[in-house]
């Protein structure tokens, strides 16, 4: 008898967040009443379909252990620790390898950025519902609404100077968000092949696209921001506060 399809999540969290300019990786910075990484994991653990979350940490990570007293996260059996890699794609592949003895080829794997703590649980649920019916897989995204410019950058003292070279048609352009969701076997094959060929992989969908497949785009909410710069923390905190009434209403 064929085993039922299961759902897993891989969270690459080995980055150092250089653009934040802080002394600790951005995933451990305070956000609300906890930290960025805790806010993200709390959201993921509200997704009932997930069997487990694989957290890919740097070998030099000295901050995760400090959270071990948080019984809802660090001691939760649904969190599996895996080794992070030099690049995000290396961490994702390590996370997939950590599931080798647990996941079947047809299981679904969601990959979510640790620095996206504002993702809505409802958006993840919509992604699962829609992508589960798709042959390839898919990702959360947002149609581009702003005018897009292609820039030419020249070297200058104190940094580069960007000048607008042309206006790019925004029709059919999307911002790629996370989670991104693909079959375990397909994603492992795509990531392994791309890394072996030294192809730059900016997200999981790009690895799947390299195989000639077209992932489904599922529209999410614009508050699913990625914390990259210091000012993003204040914006993320605002979004989390705005989401509280929605969460409280759904829990009734």
Tokens 């759902």 identify what position? 7
Domain count, the chain: 1
- Please work out, in degrees rounded to the nearest 5, the angle formed at the alpha carbon of residue 29 by the alpha carbons of 27 and 32: 105
What are the residues facing 176 on neighbouring strands?
A: 141
The answer to whether residue 1 sits within a structural domain is: no
The answer to whether residue 152 sits within a structural domain is: no
Buried b (16+ CB within 10 A) or exposed e, 38-62: bbbbebbbebebbebbbbbbbeebe
The answer to whether residue 158 sits within a structural domain is: no
The answer to whether residue 219 sits within a structural domain is: yes
The answer to whether residue 74 sits within a structural domain is: yes
Task: Tell me the C-alpha distance between 54 and 79, whole Å.
Answer: 6
- Please work out, in degrees rounded to the nearest 5, the angle formed at the alpha carbon of residue 212 by the alpha carbons of 169 and 202: 65
pLDDT recorded at residue 75: 55
The answer to whether residue 165 sits within a structural domain is: no
Tens place of pLDDT per residue across the chain (252 aa): 456 789 999 999 998 766 676 688 999 999 999 999 999 999 999 999 999 999 999 998 989 988 866 555 555 668 999 999 999 999 999 999 999 999 999 999 999 999 999 999 999 999 999 999 999 999 999 999 999 999 999 887 777 889 999 999 999 999 999 999 999 999 999 999 999 999 989 999 999 999 999 999 999 999 999 999 999 999 999 999 999 886 666 665
In terms of C-beta density within 10 A (0-12 exposed, 13-18 middle, 19 or more buried), how is residue 21 classed?
A: exposed
Ramachandran angles phi, psi of 119, nearest 5°? -55, 140
pLDDT recorded at residue 245: 80
DSSP code, position 87: S
Task: Tell me the C-alpha distance between 40 and 29, whole Å.
Answer: 12
pLDDT recorded at residue 68: 64
The answer to whether residue 49 sits within a structural domain is: yes
DSSP code, position 196: H
Domain that holds residue 130: 7-141+174-251
Residue 55 sits in a domain whose CATH number is 3.90.550.10
The answer to whether residue 153 sits within a structural domain is: no
What are the residues facing 219 on neighbouring strands?
A: 141
- Please work out, in degrees rounded to the nearest 5, the angle formed at the alpha carbon of residue 20 by the alpha carbons of 19 and 26: 120
């Amino acid at each position: 008898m064929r085993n039922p399809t299961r759902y897993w999540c891989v969270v690459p969290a080995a980055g150092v967040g250089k653009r934040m300019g802080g002394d600790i990786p951005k995933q451990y910075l305070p956000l609300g009443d906890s930290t960025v990484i805790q806010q993200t994991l709390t959201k993921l653990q509200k997704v009932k379909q997930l069997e487990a979350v694989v957290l890919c940490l740097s070998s030099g990570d000295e901050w995760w252990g400090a959270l071990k007293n948080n019984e809802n996260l660090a001691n939760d059996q649904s969190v599996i620790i895996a080794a992070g890699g030099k690049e995000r794609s290396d961490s994702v592949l390590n996370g997939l390898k950590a599931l080798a003895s647990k996941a079947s080829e047809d299981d679904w794997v969601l990959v979510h950025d640790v620095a996206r703590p504002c993702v809505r649980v409802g958006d993840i649920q919509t992604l699962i519902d829609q992508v589960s019916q798709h042959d390839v897989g898919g990702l959360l995204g947002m149609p581009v609404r702003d005018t897009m410019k292609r820039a030419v950058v020249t070297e200058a003292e104190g940094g580069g100077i960007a000048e607008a070279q042309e206006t790019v048609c925004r029709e059919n352009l999307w911002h790629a968000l996370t989670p991104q969701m693909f079959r375990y076997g397909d994603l492992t094959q795509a990531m392994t092949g791309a890394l072996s060929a030294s192809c730059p992989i900016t997200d999981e969908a790009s690895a799947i696209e390299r195989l000639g497949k077209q992932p489904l785009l599922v529209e999410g909410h614009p508050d699913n921001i990625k914390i990259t710069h210091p000012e993003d923390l204040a914006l993320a905190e605002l979004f989390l506060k705005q989401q509280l009434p929605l969460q409280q209403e759904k829990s009734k």
